[in-house]
């Protein structure tokens, strides 16, 4: 059953925190996987899930760094996972499957942004390969564990960057067209949204629902490839090499937390991920793009709003076509519809 792409409304908003979303929620007995769950939004996602009783498995390229980050958290496990390396993805998936556990929450959080032209071992453009194809293959590898839950949710972190462009199904890896790092990022974020659309359609009969999430503007290590000039367009500056957002003395409107209005704190940024993962308001729903702890509004392709989901990132035909392409590029299949 299709879920309409429009706000519920949920009663939450852009300043809601992940802890507020989870208030009174007991996740004991639940198991979650969070890719990149040791830094930025992923770390806050791991923290609040752990505090609510869930067992959290982190997939990280650097397990030692991840272990240090979560050392004081309860019920958190760490596994090696490189989303640009198919063998690493298979090892991580198989290790989890061998534990014979059901997977209740799969949060595809890790990602990269606006990188120079780089390619994975298969020759695929790195942003598309990491942000979309790696998570596609991971979800395929964990499919039986998700089915075992009978009530699983998959959350794909998209971005407002999807508004830049859709997925070029004829040349997703920039083999023919000139490389544009921001277009490559936008394409990968549209792919994340389309992934949720088609995954939800294929997973419903197994109790698996999927959601795409825009966390909002949060200053994390994701901006490390941006130049000072590019950062300034977002109101970010570097101080001693460290990206920062302006303070009140710069004349920016701020919230009561002291964060400029165009930005969210990490605690606020993780809220929509958590809402999509556990909220009872989404029971029986799925396949939609969410922001500010609610289902986002579908807006026209030429919309100048900084909110809403563009048609190309919510289109069912495009989602199915991307799915077919992703199966071909990764040599895996998920949830074949009989």
CATH code where residue 120 lies: 3.40.50.720
Residue 10 resides in a domain = no
Do both 63 and 114 map to the same domain?
Answer: yes
Quickly count helices (H) and strands (E) in the chain.
12, 10
Could you tell me the two tokens for 36? 């990149």
Could you tell me the two tokens for 159? 């971005």
Q: Nearest 5°: CA angle at 193, between 185 and 18?
A: 95
Give phi and psi for 66, each to the nearest 5.
Answer: -65, -45
Could you tell me the two tokens for 46? 């791991």
Do both 91 and 72 map to the same domain?
Answer: yes
Residues 6+ apart with CB under 8 A from 234: 217, 262
Do both 54 and 87 map to the same domain?
Answer: yes
Do both 133 and 251 map to the same domain?
Answer: no
Residue 251 resides in a domain = yes
> What tens digit of pLDDT does each residue of 14-24 get?
999 999 999 98
Cβ atoms of 190 and 162 within 8 Å: the answer is yes
Do both 64 and 194 map to the same domain?
Answer: yes
Domain count within the chain: 2
Q: What is the structure's pLDDT at 338?
A: 41
Last residue of a domain, one of 263, 291, 316: 263
Do both 238 and 292 map to the same domain?
Answer: no
Cβ atoms of 34 and 58 within 8 Å: the answer is yes
Last residue of a domain, one of 208, 241, 263: 263
Q: Given the DSSP bridges, would you call strands 208-214 and 152-157 parallel, antiparallel or unpaired?
A: parallel
Q: Given the DSSP bridges, would you call strands 242-244 and 55-60 parallel, antiparallel or unpaired?
A: unpaired
Residue 99 resides in a domain = yes
Do both 67 and 164 map to the same domain?
Answer: yes
Cβ atoms of 153 and 161 within 8 Å: the answer is no
**Alpha carbon distance 152, 211 (integer Å):** 11
Residue 323 resides in a domain = yes
Do both 245 and 120 map to the same domain?
Answer: no
Q: What is the pTM of this model?
A: 0.90
Residue 1 resides in a domain = no
Cα-Cα-Cα-Cα torsion 318, 334, 48, 214, nearest 10 degrees, comes to: -10
Residue 337 resides in a domain = no
Q: Which residue numbers in the chain have pLDDT < 70?
A: 1, 218-262, 335-338
Q: What is the structure's pLDDT at 213?
A: 98
Among the residues of the chain, which ranges form H helices?
18-22, 40-51, 63-69, 86-97, 126-127, 134-141, 143-149, 181-203, 228-232, 266-269, 271-278, 316-330
Could you tell me the two tokens for 79? 């596994």
Do both 53 and 85 map to the same domain?
Answer: yes
Calculate the CA 247 to chain-centre distance. Answer: 28
Do both 252 and 150 map to the same domain?
Answer: no
Residue 212 resides in a domain = yes
Do both 227 and 298 map to the same domain?
Answer: no
Q: Given the DSSP bridges, would you call strands 242-244 and 237-239 parallel, antiparallel or unpaired?
A: antiparallel
**Strand-pair partners of 77:** 57
Residue 4 resides in a domain = no
Last residue of a domain, one of 232, 248, 263: 263
Active site residues: 185
Do both 190 and 70 map to the same domain?
Answer: yes
Domain hosting residue 126, numbered range: 18-218+266-330
> What tens digit of pLDDT does each residue of 131-147 get?
999 999 999 999 999 99
């Amino acid at each position: 059953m299709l879920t309409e792409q429009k706000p519920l409304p949920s009663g939450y908003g852009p300043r809601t925190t992940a802890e507020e979303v989870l208030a009174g929620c007991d996740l004991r007995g639940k198991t979650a996987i969070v890719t990149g769950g040791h830094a930025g939004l992923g770390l806050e996602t791991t923290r609040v899930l752990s505090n609510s009783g869930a067992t959290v498995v982190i997939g990280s390229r650097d397990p030692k760094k991840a272990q240090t980050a979560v050392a004081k958290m309860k019920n958190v496990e760490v596994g090696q996972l490189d989303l640009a390396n198919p063998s690493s993805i298979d090892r991580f998936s198989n290790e989890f499957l061998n534990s014979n556990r059901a997977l209740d929450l799969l949060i595809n959080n890790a990602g990269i942004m606006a990188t120079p032209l780089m390619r994975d071992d298969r020759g695929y453009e790195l942003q598309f390969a990491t942000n979309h194809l790696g998570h596609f293959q991971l979800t395929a590898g964990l499919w039986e564990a998700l089915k075992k839950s009978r009530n699983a949710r998959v959350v794909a972190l998209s971005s407002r960057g999807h508004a830049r462009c859709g997925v070029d199904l004829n040349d997703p890896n920039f083999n023919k067209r000139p490389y544009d790092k921001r277009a490559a990022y936008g394409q990968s974020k549209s792919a994340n949204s389309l992934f949720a659309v088609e995954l939800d359609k294929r997973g419903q009969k197994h109790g698996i629902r999927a959601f795409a999430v825009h966390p909002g503007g949060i200053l994390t290590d994701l901006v490390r490839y941006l130049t000072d000039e590019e950062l300034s367009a977002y109101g970010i500056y570097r101080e001693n090499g460290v990206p920062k957002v302006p303070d009140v003395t710069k004349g920016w409107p701020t919230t009561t937390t002291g964060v400029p209005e165009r930005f969210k704190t990490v605690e606020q940024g993780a809220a929509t991920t958590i809402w999509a993962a556990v909220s009872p308001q989404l029971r029986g729903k799925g396949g939609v793009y969410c922001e500010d702890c609610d289902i986002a509004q579908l807006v026209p392709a030429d919309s100048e709003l900084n909110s809403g989901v563009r048609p190309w990132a919510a289109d069912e035909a495009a989602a199915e076509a991307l799915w077919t392409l992703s199966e071909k590029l990764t040599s895996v299949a998920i949830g074949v519809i009989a």
